[in-house]
Amino acid sequence: MSGFGYAVDTFAAWLAGGEPGWLAVSVAVLAVWVLPLMLLVFPVAALGQILERKIAAAIQRRVGPNSAGLDGPLRFGFRLMLFFLPRERQDRVFKAFCNFPPVRSILLVSRRLGLGQLAADGIKMLGKEDIVPAGADGMVFRLAPYLALAGAFLPFCVVPFGQHLVMLETEVSALFAVAVSGIVVVALKMAGWGSGSKWSLLGGMRAVAQLVSYEIPIGLAVGGAVLWSGSMDLHAIVGQQYEPGVFSLLGWNALQTPFLAVLMVVFFVAGLAECQRSPFDMAEAESELVSGFNTEYSGLRWGLFAMAEYTEMLLVGALLATLFLGGYQSPIGEEWICSLAPWLEVPIHVALLGAKVVAVYLLMMWIRWTLPRYRVDQVMRLAWLVLVPLCLVSLFGIALTLLAAGGTEPGEPFGRVAARPRAALGWLGHLVGWAIPVAVGAWLVVMAKKKHGQVHPALQRLTGGRS
């Protein structure tokens, strides 16, 4: 049992003063699971918007948000704290505090980073008029943003953040994550339909078509990891990727066979599509559909959609790390980290998972600000004619590898038992397992390039090559 499960039980028992009823359990669940998780995920997702703006600015050679610092919130805090003083006094104290050199430099840095933009945007969003269009289906319209956020947030319950840090431990947590994130589809459809606007409707339709299509590669990619690990429990999957010794990353799923590496790429691409991120942002393509399914939303409701998008990005990063990149484990010296005291080990593991998530996050932003958008038919073609066959081939390859290795045996979630295929394959088996698929893949790429890769001489001239 994970630490959280134990904490919930204890807390519920304490609340009820005996055998806990449903109310006590609900309160305990909220207090122990949901609240901390929200406090962890949502601020990060909100920070992501600032990060995205800064990154977009850097890619586009702009400055980005650089004026709103933390002075404003700070001043507000001073006003609250020193409510008993007259205003000039408050200001004088605040000024003196701000001129204190370390504070001053922190404020300057925060201004350069545009951190205050977070507060400013939040207040702006709260202050905006909450518009429900006349033609909208009010109930559906109002409900959609919350559902979207719920769908993006719920799968975090099964993501292991550390050795004993998983909110909801089930045998089928991988399936749970994929299934629950399907709520977003409903939410987007509701937003598109409920808005009573044609742009929203089109955006909603596109979103549903896209999300439903991309659930399949995602499911198959998750299936690959599940097949390899022999378990549907995300925690067990992470545990199975444990490798003693210095180079712990050798145990990660992505490095086991090239098929799992391919599945990781597929998962990432499909994940981009699930988050409605460019180049798959056709559901809210601002140059085509004004803003797609959230055209008619304003203020806080729109903010919830934005938050859902960023939360979902975090989710894709977390699942990708969990399934293929060793979860919360360190790339080197995991054995040593595990031997540390819990108060040290837990933060390190959470931070490591966070680092992996942020890496995926940054990659998504980089892609968004670089690539154009796919068209509807191309999005579908990519899903059904590229990703799904790729997944099937990879699944077949994984099955073959497992057959050669003599099946798999799930490692124990917390027992740190390395799963069997690795041991059974041996270094020669691994080498062959990598060499054959890589060679075939490279040959296919070369052939495809030879056949379709010619670039018109004029284009070569444009890109600085010889004409």
Q: In the complex, which residues of this chain contact other proteins (CB under 8 A)? A: 56, 59-62, 198-199, 202, 205-206, 278-279, 281-282, 285-288, 290, 369-378, 452, 454-456, 458-459, 461-464
With left for phi above 0 and alpha for psi between -120 and 50, is residue 431 left, alpha or beta? alpha
Closest approach of Cβ 267 to other proteins, in Å? 20
- The distance of closest approach from Cβ of residue 395 to other proteins in the complex, given in angstroms and rounded to an integer, is 26
Residue 265 CB contacts under 8 Å (≥ 6 apart), including other chains:
none
Cβ–Cβ < 8 Å for 313, 361: yes
Q: Based on CB atoms, which residue is closest to other proteins, 28 or 51? A: 51
To other proteins, the closest distance from the beta carbon of 281 in angstroms equals 7
In angstroms, what is the minimal distance from the CB of 235 to other proteins? 38
Structure tokens of 240? 């199975």
What phi and psi values does residue 329 have, to the nearest 5 degrees?
-80, 155
160 or 292: whose CB is closer to other proteins? 292
Bond from prior residue into 279 cis (ω within 30 degrees of 0): yes
- Contact between 292 and 193 (Cβ < 8 Å): no
Cβ nearer to other proteins, comparing 51 with 222: 51
If the CB atoms of residues 200 and 257 are measured against other proteins, the closer one turns out to be: 200
Note whether 434 and 258 are within 8 A (CB): yes
Smallest distance from other proteins to CB 287, Å: 4
Q: Which is nearer to other proteins, 75 or 373 (CB)?
A: 373
Residue 280: CB minimum distance to other proteins, A? 10
- Per DSSP, the residues of 240-303 read HT---SS-GGGGSGGGT-HHHHHHHHHHHHHHHHHTT-TTSGGGG-TTTSTTGGGTT--HHHHH
CB closer to other proteins out of 87 and 456: 456
3-state secondary structure 440-466: HHHHHHHHHHHHHCCCCHHHHHHCCCC
